[in-house]
Amino acid sequence: MRTQADSLQLDTLSFRGGLLANALLVLGGSLLIALCAQVAIHTPFSPVPITGQTFAVLLVGALLGSKRGGLCVLAYLAEGMAGLPVFAGGGSGPSWLLGPTGGYLLGFVAAAWVVGWLCEHVGDGSISGIAVTMLAGSATIYVFGVSWLTLFVGAEKALEMGLLPFLPGDLIKIALAGLILSQSPRLTKANGSSIRM
């Protein structure tokens, strides 16, 4: 049975590819996350902004796989910790990892890995399979993010401030990522067999 990875990942971009190719992919993925982080809406009801980061993290995990996807997010975090303005709305520095949003940022690493792993081992490349994979990635982010936010606002408020208001937007992000992945020309079939992206 072909996995979602058979549909989503290019043979030429396998993790065993050249060091330079992999480094460029990781850097490119981290820059995509940084770019999407600049789409940030701060709300009065939560210290956690609405951003495009989750969309980019899920997409990077699906396209680049568990290892490179996780490395993309680690590179992104390193860039922000080093002072580059890559976090939401141009933020940077260690305070982002130590503050209320730190759990979400760390959850991005795990989510990219989870999405990549599911694509590599379980998924079938269908729209429903992609959606389930993306939901698993989003859930991973919330496990880390809401757990960390609890330390700042308590358990009940963490759900109110760090989960419930973001679910509708996440469903839109998941649908958009699924649409992009399912409509990619590389996801088409050649002679009845999936070609790898």
What's the pLDDT tens digit per position in 49-105? Answer: 888 899 999 999 999 999 999 999 999 999 999 999 999 989 999 999 999 999 999
Reported confidence tier of residue 184, pLDDT bands at 50, 70, 90: low
Contact indicator for 161, 46 with CB cutoff of 8 Å? yes
14 has pLDDT over 80? no
190 has pLDDT over 70? no
Euclidean distance between CA atoms 119 and 59, whole angstroms: 11
189 has pLDDT over 60? no
Residue owning tokens 């080093």? 82
Q: What are the structural domains, with CATH classification, of the chain?
A: 14-185 (1.10.1760.20)
Residue owning tokens 């210290």? 47
pLDDT confidence of residue 17: 63
The pTM assigned to this predicted structure is 0.82
Euclidean distance between CA atoms 151 and 193, whole angstroms: 49
